[in-house]
Chains A and B, each alone.
Chain A
Amino acid sequence: MTSPAPEELHDVRLRVNGSVHEVRVPARRLLSDALRHDCGLTGTHVGCEHGVCGACTILVDGRPVRSCLMLAVSAVDAEITTVEGLTEPDGSLSPVQQAFSDCHGLQCGFCTPGFLTTITAGLRENPDPSEDEAREMIAGNLCRCTGYQNIVRSVLRAAEIGAEGPASRSTDVDGGGEDR
């Protein structure tokens, strides 16, 4: 190591859930950390930090991606969706979120943001999955609590809600989504 010069900072414009966040970060800032610390979007969880657990999964241009395996500086051209961005514009739960509530698809909730983003994108690609396909959809995400059965049920339930359309959703739920 030569003389430790002060670390260079980069001005990065992140587009997250439709809003622009101007952040100033060193090149080594992981996108997961930039979202949580620099943008204050702590819905994205960080488990293993090496791509294995899936808790940090976000959507980059609509595709699920591990945010712990991307640098914030390489996300400049991307349209990012985090779990905070999944709620409907009126703040009500999205079909996948509603299904997790209906089917008890979470216990401690640590893994849940990664499942919600992964399943949201998965159902866009395959809106009517079989049970096997539902399992395959979530095979890259780890959950230490539920034993997965209720998460598989949630995938199938979310597909049902999606097919029924917004009118059939329970109306008395607490949206819990951020105002945007």
Chain B
Amino acid sequence: MKPAPFAYLRPSILEEALAALAGTQGAKVLAGGQSLVPLLSMRLAAPSMLVDINALPDLDHVTSDDDGVRVGALARHADVLASSGAAAAQPLLAMALSHVAHPTIRNRGTTVGSVVHADAAAEMPMVLRLLEGSVDVASVRGRRTVPAAELFAGPLETTLAHDEIAVEAFFPALGPGAGVAFQEIARRHGDYALVGAAAHVETDGDAVTRARVGYVSASDVPVVVDVTDAVTDPAGDPAAAALAELEPAGDIHASAAYRAHLVTVLTPRVLADATDHARRRAGERSSA
């Protein structure tokens, strides 16, 4: 259980990191290492070089305003979870982050690293998709913004080029009249979820105008399903609508049938919670 040899660079300016990634075949970014180092130790990954971004300046921010929350590439899960500004602008962040691993892992693992690691069993890639956020990436060719809908290409795979560094993730703020909820089933708190679900519901008065649910570990990529029709139709079945677009798989932790069952249980729960949340927020606004 030891990594294979690799070259190592710990640049203190972004341009140097980008040049090293562009100029070295098989080079990889090292952020918090909470996913990459186990892969190295198990020799499931053998990069030729690691470009450690932990000494780069000005990347550890968590800034919030009316538009949303901007999370720098070196902000740890724990920093985002502790940010009261982030919790106020987009409550789903803290709801989901408290389920990401254990506090010890959250002290080191970065939220941006988790997003670009693109694990379908991870909470934050799904959250970015559900919230219709984006990631800012840099390379020797310049900067670009990748919307979440265009980020995830396959299991553990994004559309980022091998020499691009994700410098910031943007999670939009929760709009007026909208509500969110998150629930997951895991064997122990802090373990990867057997299945997790987050809902984002928009309301106008008593009416639901849009309802979407994102799923963790219910397909091999982060999936978000629009269930507005099933929610607004009195005879509709949002969980069945969701299952039609999911492909739960079986493994040593749970069978495919059990995962499908959890989708059926969690979908109505998170939709009800998010709808309540939206109405409470609307109530607070009108009484304020």
Contacts and interface: CB of A to CB of B under 8 A. Distances in A.
Interface of A: 7-8, 10, 26-28, 30, 33, 49-51, 54, 57, 60, 63-66, 68-71, 73-74, 76-77, 118, 122, 136, 139-140
B40 interface: yes
Contacts of B4: 28
B188 interface: yes
B112 to A, nearest CB: 17
B278 interface: no
B104 A70 contact: no
A64 B76 CA distance: 13
Given A27-B5, A66-B104, 4 more contacts: A50-B37, A51-B34, A60-B107, A140-B104
8 contacts: A8-B8, A28-B40, A49-B41, A50-B41, A71-B8, A73-B10, A139-B188, A140-B101
Contacts of A68: 37, 41
Interface of B: 1-8, 10, 30, 33-34, 37-38, 40-42, 50, 52, 54-55, 78, 101-105, 107-108, 188-190
Contacts of B42: 50
B37 A71 contact: yes
Nearest to B4: A28
Contacts of B102: 54, 139-140
A74 B108 contact: no
Given A10-B8, A73-B52, A54 B104 contact: yes
B191 to A, nearest CB: 9
List 3 A-B pairs, minimum CB-CB distance, nearest first. Answer: A140-B102, A27-B8, A50-B38
B33 A74 contact: yes
Contacts of A50: 1, 37-38, 41-42
Contact of B105 (A51, A76, A77): A51
B8 A66 contact: no
Contacts of A28: 2-6, 40
A140 B2 contact: no
Contact of B190 (A60, A63, A71, A139): A139
A69 B34 contact: yes
Contacts of A70: 33, 37, 108
Contact of B33 (A27, A64, A69, A122): A69
Contacts of B30: 71, 74
A136 B189 contact: yes
Q: Max chain A CB contacts within 10 Å: which of B2, B103, B104?
A: B104
Contacts of B78: 63
B37 A140 contact: no
Nearest to B40: A28
A63 B102 CA distance: 13
A69 B37 contact: yes
Given A10-B8, A139-B189, A30 B107 contact: no
A149 to B, nearest CB: 16
Given A28-B5, A30-B2, A71-B8, A65 B40 contact: no
Nearest to A46: B1
Contacts of A69: 33-34, 37-38, 105, 108
B1 A57 contact: no
